[in-house]
Amino acid sequence: MIFEESTLLQVEPNNTSSMKSICTLIFTLVMLPSLTSQVGFISDFAKKWENTALYTIEFAEAFPEDLYDFGPTTEEMKFREQSLHMCGNISWLSSSYLGGTDYKEDLSNPPKSKADLITILRNTFQYAAETIQNFDPSQLDEKVEFFAGPMSKRQIMMLMSDHVTHHRGQLVVYLRLNNIKPPGYRGW
């Protein structure tokens, strides 16, 4: 026998304090990995989001201001519209599903200058970063009603990231069609 009988925890039948301690210990041992994993997800996502922001802003900086109303076809959004569409989606998902406060930027009145658009991009990505930083990791698996069906808040975060990637990918084409080399890829 590895344990001597005297080293085992002795619990008296009427000793509720010991039982509570054992239950607390068992709960902690069972739940700690899950909570650590959730905090790890938020930390990983926050770092990825920072790179997403920097990479996306590099596109806005690389594209000439006189081409901000360029679109490859009449059906496609213009460069400026693509950028503002990303901002609108980020602010909507952050405020509607992730507990962000009301977003302060007015996205209905498109900025005229490149500098103003870049400021809106920076502010929007920062707003989402703060929302994520203040997000309670224990809510990651909480389901929310979404137009595509119920989703967890973790899925909403992934959707937010994927949506930016989708539209930034379109901006790669906009740059290439104008003989502009896109910024080098940023991953994690």
Q: Fill in the amino acid letter for 87.
A: C
State how far the Cα of 187 lies from the Cα of 76, in Å rounded to an integer: 26
State how far the Cα of 116 lies from the Cα of 77, in Å rounded to an integer: 19
State how far the Cα of 65 lies from the Cα of 178, in Å rounded to an integer: 13
Residue 38 domain flag? no
pLDDT in tens, 2-21: 434 444 444 455 566 666 66
pLDDT at residue 1 is higher than 90: no
Token pair, residue 40, equals: 């790890």
**Going by C-beta distance under 8 Å and a sequence separation of 6 or more, which residues neighbour residue 113?**
65
Tell me how many domains the chain contains: 1
**Going by C-beta distance under 8 Å and a sequence separation of 6 or more, which residues neighbour residue 116?**
none
Residue 119 domain flag? yes
**Going by C-beta distance under 8 Å and a sequence separation of 6 or more, which residues neighbour residue 160?**
89, 90, 93, 94, 128
Residue 32 domain flag? no
Residue 30 domain flag? no
Residues spanned by the domain of 101: 43-177
Q: Fill in the amino acid letter for 82.
A: Q
Q: Residue 10 belongs to what H/E stretch?
A: none
Q: Fill in the amino acid letter for 27.
A: F
pLDDT band at 34 (very low <50, low <70, confident <90, very high): very low
What's the CATH code of the domain at 77? 1.20.120.450
pLDDT in tens, 40-90: 899 999 999 999 999 999 999 999 999 999 999 999 999 999 999 999 999
Q: Which is more confidently placed, 105 or 156?
A: 156
Q: What is the mean pLDDT of residues 143-168?
A: 95
pLDDT in tens, 124-141: 999 999 999 999 999 999
Residue 14 domain flag? no
The pLDDT assigned to 179 comes to 98
Q: Read off the pTM.
A: 0.79
Question: What Å distances lie between residue 171 and 52, 66, 72, 135, 140, CA to CA?
Answer: 14, 15, 10, 30, 31
